[in-house]
Amino acid sequence: MGNLSIFAMQAFNGLSTFCVLLLMALGLAIIFGQMGVINMAHGEFLTIGAYTTYLLSQFSERFAPWLLNSYFLVAIVVAFLLAGALGLLVEHFMIRYLYKRPLDTLLATWGLSLIMQQVFRSVFGAREVSATLPNWLMGSVKPTANIDIPINGLLLIGLTVILTGIVFFGLLYTRLGVQVRATMQNRAMAGAAGINTNRVDRLTFAFGCGLAGIAGAAFTTIGSTGPTSGSLYIVDTFLVVVFGGAQSLLGTIASAFSIAQMQATTEFFMTGSMAKVLTLSAVILILMLRPQGLFALKVRS
Amino acid sequence: MNNEFLLQIEELSVSFDGFKAVDDLTLYVSKEGVHAVIGPNGAGKTTLLDLITGRTRPTKGHVRFKGSEVTGLHEYQIVRKGIGRKFQTPSVYESLTVFENLEMAYPDKRSWVSAWRFRRTPEIVKRVEEIAELIYLGDRLHERAELLSHGQKQWLEIGALLIQDPELLLLDEPVAGMSVTDRAKTAELLSGLAKGRAVVVVEHDMDFVKKISDHVTVLHQGRLLAEGKMDVIQKNPKVVEVYLGH
Amino acid sequence: MSNSAKPSLVRRLAATAWSTQKSRENLSFLVLAVVLLAIFPIFLDVFRLNLIGKYLTYAFVAVGLVLCWGYGGILSLGQGVFFGLGGYCMAMFLKLEASDPASTSIQSTPGIPDFMDWNQITALPALWVPFRSFPLTLIAVVVVPGGLAYLLATAMFKRRVGGVYFAIITQAVAAILSILIIGRQGYTGGVNGITDLKTLLGWDIRSDGAKVILYYVNAVLLLGGVALGLSLLRSKLGRILVALRDKEQRVLFTGYDVATIKRAVFVLAAVYAAVGGAMFTLQVGFMSPSFVGIVPSIEMVIGAAIGGRSSLFGAIYGSLLMNFGKSYFSEAFPELWLFVIGAMFIGVVMLFPDGLAGIDLPRLFRSVKRLFSRSTKPTAGAGIGVPPEAASAPTGGVP
């Protein structure tokens, strides 16, 4: 019985990483799959969401203690909006000039990420900060005597499920979603059919960044925030997206799940850094064998 | 195996996500002459070329060149066997000169080591100049390719194929976007080329096709619709319907 | 030539030197050689010379990047891996030499590097044993990074993985290697790296004399590397690389084995970086994982980008400039450094894709002249905003 509960808790740890990774990867997959744009600053949008949450927690702590219980949900919305708005600006001033040059987009967005990291450092200091979590998020649920499931983990999962659902629903059933999918599959035809592909691109990019912002808010429940928090996830996120086949959302989910789980499971047997090495190496090896990722559609070249 | 045809395509099929781009196609190309492939848009003409050159793998059927199987080989291997393909949009190396463009295509010194140690022998220079004359660019040898006109770029591309002395030339819409005079010159060029090698031309310009082709194949929805000489084809009711019915 | 007296000999020589691309390159090479071999050593003291020597080791990486990225279109964000591997190979040899039983007699296990002793290792690991021999070490400096590059390239290019995917995977490899090195501190010295290096085959590399000699060795090797690069770029292979960068599909259809060519140039770039790493270890006296990971790798790219990714010489000057900038800002305004480098990335990509080398001096002079002549001759219609391209014919390097 003891082993099962340890296993369950370990699986649960993997789930928390999985949630943040998935939220990041969803945003990136949409941007990359849709526009072929590599946004190396994606991690920094996570950091924006995290710092926003932190600021709101400070604000409610000092000026509005009665908000402490509810600020978190507000933070999620604000993080989304703020990150999304910044995404719009970035797309407008930089990304849209670089669409045909993916390598250059990579370099330019890397430059942006460095600048953003420095801004964070200058404004918030180099040390990590933590948002004060509301009481209802602390503590855990005990379904059995031995298994301890932290509530914030549950919130994370719930949030991820809801958001993933929204993304799916949005893509499949809303008008904008159809436009996005059309542009993703055949840009020229979509344009010919009257879809304003520029507008679709801008909104997609902003939405992807917004998702990263939410990931950032979620991230505050599992760790403290520093200027480089986002960059910790960026390589993993890219590998998740590439591994899952950039065109497929289901692939992204499966990929995020396997990578997060692989990391968590191997961490059980060895140190954290070695687990990371093993996971990254495994992903790269698999990518070498199947470069289009696990779930790629066969497309006409 | 039947060796009197240069290119044998049998029951060739490929589908993309359920869409049958080429469906059970059987086609034979003889060793000499101009063989035109025509058909409305989406008939599978470019896909056919992709399949022959190894850019796309068929889901069924095979392609035989000079009696041996080439289905499934890499593109560069197929090129080295003697098949040259020209794409629709002129694709020359803009930053290189006409001479360098042709020299790049010279069928020798293909590995990186030999390319590094490559020396321009008189033999190579002569051949490049020969080809340049053929493609009406003899006096523009040392100009950068980006300065050429559209028609000249098309010729340069054909030249780059010719220098490899292919036995089979696949040309995808060679006169698209060309002026009338250039079209006439291209017709002359291709007819001359067809003595001693097979030239397969995918085209839309019916006058051009009529002028130069010895044999015409009509494709429709990935399948063979009709074959024969151009004037016979033009009277074929199925062909007329397919072209007018769209 | 005008009707008046023939231009002076000097002017005629200058015109010839400037006339073709090849002669311009030769001139630049000469200038570089004079700067590196004569000007720097004469005007700089040993300390500064050694610093330049250190910066020049990054230039090795930049030159390699010009070949594989500027010309071949292969962006690698993990050159730190090869730099580090070359550097570590050399460091391992030097460390073993500095850890002879006599000087390490106070350790629990004499004769092995100090950090191994601190980690309770009692015998030299098998990985280290070959590095007792200098010839083997020299071979390793080339073969280990080159071999890794060969494997990576084979796995990637043969499967048509290129462009962005390739770049990200090189990043991941850089991350993996740096984590691996830091994690296995018993074998590698961990996050501090391999330090306290003293002698090379008995010769004290910490002395001033040694530093000067090593600087010259470094400069000569770099010049040799540039010469090699020039010979490559002038050959048919160079033209193939240009064609590859612009139209890979077409090169494939012309019958070239693109994957093998890309692999060759990538391995070459890796070897360049490795030599740089080894020279770094010799001149600076240590090697650590801080040169291996994602951040240093991308700094190496920026050096090449600033100078001009398609110019061998530009890349060298760009690396020097970047390192100067880094030192200056880290001391004076540490907060600004990341801003500067981030802005440089964005600037190079959006405004100056050809870096410093892309600045067309004649054109620049003409626009400046025009700017000044405006005060005396108002020209209708020509506003300050007229870009130089519209006003003059395309120039720059065309024979």
Q: Does B105 reach chain C within 8 Å, measured CB to CB?
A: yes
Q: Among A14-28, A204-218, B186-200, whose mean pLDDT is lowest?
A: A14-28
Q: Are strands B68-69 and B5-16 parallel, antiparallel or unpaired?
A: unpaired
Could you tell me which chains touch chain B, where touching means 3 or more CB pairs under 8 A? Answer: A, C
Q: Where are the alpha helices (DSSP H) in B32-74?
A: 45-53
Continuous segment of H or E residues that includes residue B245 = none
Taking residues B187-207, report their average pLDDT.
88
Could you tell me which chains touch chain C, where touching means 3 or more CB pairs under 8 A? Answer: A, B
Residues of A in contact with C175 (CB under 8 A): 235, 280
Residues of B in contact with C259 (CB under 8 A): none
Q: Does B56 reach chain A within 8 Å, measured CB to CB?
A: yes
CB contact under 8 A, C335 and A122: yes
Residue A244 to residues A22, A214, A231, A297: CA-CA distances in angstroms?
11, 21, 20, 11
Q: Which residues, including other chains, have CB under 8 Å from residue A39's CB and lie 6 or more apart? A: A28, A31, A32, A95, A105, A109, A205, A208, A209
More confident residue, B80 or A12: B80
Q: Which residues, including other chains, have CB under 8 Å from residue A125's CB and lie 6 or more apart? A: none
Taking residues B218-228, report their average pLDDT.
87
| C301, burial (CB in 10 Å: exposed 0-12, middle 13-18, buried 19+) | buried
Helices and strands in chain B, H and E counts: 10, 10
Question: In whole angstroms, what is the distance from residue A284 CA to residue A292 CA?
Answer: 12
Tokens of residue A248, six digits? 């497929």
| Closest alpha carbon within chain A to B50 | A301
Which residue of C235, C239, C257 is in closest CB contact with B110?
C257
Residue B200 to residues A276, B7, B55, B83: CA-CA distances in angstroms?
55, 10, 17, 11
Taking only residues 128 to 147 of chain A, the set having a beta carbon closer than 8 angstroms to any beta carbon of chain B reads none
Residue C214 to residues A81, C127, C199, C319: CA-CA distances in angstroms?
56, 27, 12, 19
Residue pairs between chains A and C whose CB atoms are closer than 8 Å: 107
Q: Does A298 reach chain B within 8 Å, measured CB to CB?
A: yes
CB contact under 8 A, C250 and B117: no
Q: Does C247 reach chain B within 8 Å, measured CB to CB?
A: yes
Which residue of C250, C255, C265 is in closest CB contact with B110?
C255
Task: State the smallest CA–CA distance between residue A300 and chain B in angstroms.
Answer: 7
Question: In whole angstroms, what is the distance from residue C170 CA to residue C172 CA?
Answer: 5
CB contact under 8 A, B16 and A301: no
Q: Cα–Cα–Cα angle for B134, B137, B143, nearest 5°? A: 150
Residues of C in contact with A107 (CB under 8 A): 75, 301, 305, 345, 348-349
Task: State the smallest CA–CA distance between residue A23 and chain C in angstroms.
Answer: 20
CB contact under 8 A, C254 and B85: no
Which residue of C237, C253, C257 is in closest CB contact with B85?
C253
Q: Does C341 reach chain A within 8 Å, measured CB to CB?
A: yes
Residues C186 and C121 sit within 8 Å (Cβ to Cβ): yes
Q: Where are the alpha helices (DSSP H) in C247-308?
A: 248-253, 258-284, 294-307
| Closest alpha carbon within chain A to C74 | A103
Residue C73's nearest CA partner among C384, C376, C332, C310 is C310
Task: State the smallest CA–CA distance between residue A98 and chain B in angstroms.
Answer: 21
Q: Does A175 reach chain B within 8 Å, measured CB to CB?
A: no
Return the pLDDT at C360: 60
Residues C342 and A114 sit within 8 Å (Cβ to Cβ): yes
Torsion from C-alpha of C149, C150, C155, C161, nearest 10 degrees: 60
More confident residue, A297 or A86: A86
Name the E strands within chain B. Answer: 5-16, 19-30, 33-38, 60-65, 68-69, 83-86, 168-172, 198-202, 215-220, 223-228
Question: In whole angstroms, what is the distance from residue C216 CA to residue C52 CA?
Answer: 11
**Amino acid present at C386:** V
Looking at residue C355, what DSSP letter applies?
A: T
Give the model confidence (pLDDT) of A163-187 as tens digits: 888 888 887 788 877 887 777 777 7
Question: In whole angstroms, what is the distance from residue C322 CA to residue C39 CA?
Answer: 20
**Amino acid present at B85:** R
Residue B181's nearest CA partner among B148, B140, B141, B151 is B151
Question: In whole angstroms, what is the distance from residue C204 CA to residue B168 CA?
Answer: 68
Question: In whole angstroms, what is the distance from residue C278 CA to residue C205 CA?
Answer: 13
More confident residue, A193 or C259: C259
Residues B14 and B47 sit within 8 Å (Cβ to Cβ): yes
Q: Does C171 reach chain A within 8 Å, measured CB to CB?
A: yes
Tokens of residue A191, six digits? 């344009």
Return the pLDDT at C376: 46
Taking residues B176-194, report their average pLDDT.
89
CB contact under 8 A, A297 and B16: no
Tokens of residue C392, six digits? 């003059």
Return the pLDDT at C393: 36
CB contact under 8 A, C75 and A94: no
Taking residues A36-60, report their average pLDDT.
89
Residues B27 and B65 sit within 8 Å (Cβ to Cβ): no
CB contact under 8 A, A301 and B56: yes
Q: Mean pLDDT over all residues of chain A?
A: 81
Question: In whole angstroms, what is the distance from residue A257 CA to residue A269 CA?
Answer: 19
Task: State the smallest CA–CA distance between residue B79 and chain A in angstroms.
Answer: 19
Residues of C in contact with A106 (CB under 8 A): 75, 77, 164, 167
Task: Give the best residue of C233, C236, C261 to mutate against chain B (max B CB count within 10 A).
Answer: C236
Question: In whole angstroms, what is the distance from residue A82 CA to residue A59 CA?
Answer: 17
Which residue of A110, A235, A274 is in closest CB contact with C298?
A110
Task: Give the best residue of B97, B116, B119 to mutate against chain C (max C CB count within 10 A).
Answer: B116
Residue A215's nearest CA partner among A276, A265, A256, A170 is A256
Residue C6 CB neighbours (<10 A): 9
* Helix, strand, coil fractions of chain C, as percent rounded to 5: 70, 0, 25
Q: Among B185-194, B233-242, C318-327, whose mean pLDDT is lowest?
A: B233-242
Residues of A in contact with B56 (CB under 8 A): 300-301
Q: Mean pLDDT over all residues of chain B?
A: 85
Question: In whole angstroms, what is the distance from residue C320 CA to residue C304 CA?
Answer: 10
Q: Cα–Cα–Cα angle for C373, C376, C381, nearest 5°? A: 75
| C224, burial (CB in 10 Å: exposed 0-12, middle 13-18, buried 19+) | exposed
3-state secondary structure of C73: coil
Could you tell me which chains touch chain A, where touching means 3 or more CB pairs under 8 A? Answer: B, C
CB contact under 8 A, B55 and A301: yes
Return the pLDDT at C217: 95
Q: Does A171 reach chain C within 8 Å, measured CB to CB?
A: no
Residue A71 CB neighbours (<10 A): 23
Q: Which residues, including other chains, have CB under 8 Å from residue C335's CB and lie 6 or more apart? A: A118, A121, A122
Return the pLDDT at C362: 64
Residue B90's nearest CA partner among B158, B187, B181 is B158
Taking residues A13-38, report their average pLDDT.
81
Tokens of residue A162, six digits? 């809801």
Task: Give the best residue of A247, A295, A297, A300 to mutate against chain B (max B CB count within 10 A).
Answer: A300
Residue C298's nearest CA partner among B126, A53, A234, A201 is A234
Q: Does C18 reach chain A within 8 Å, measured CB to CB?
A: no
CB contact under 8 A, C239 and B100: yes
Q: Does C324 reach chain A within 8 Å, measured CB to CB?
A: no
Q: Does C243 reach chain B within 8 Å, measured CB to CB?
A: yes
Looking at residue B144, what DSSP letter applies?
A: B
Tokens of residue C131, six digits? 């590095």
Taking residues B97-121, report their average pLDDT.
81
From first to last of its 399 residues, what are the pLDDT tens digits of chain C? 444 556 677 777 777 766 677 888 888 899 999 999 999 989 988 999 999 999 999 999 999 999 999 998 899 999 999 999 999 999 999 999 888 888 888 888 888 888 888 888 888 888 898 998 999 999 999 999 999 999 999 988 887 777 888 888 899 899 899 989 998 888 888 899 999 888 888 888 888 889 999 999 999 999 999 999 999 998 888 889 988 888 887 787 777 888 899 999 999 999 999 999 999 999 999 999 999 988 899 889 988 888 888 889 989 999 998 898 888 888 888 888 888 888 988 888 887 777 777 666 666 666 667 666 654 444 443 333 333 333 333 333 333
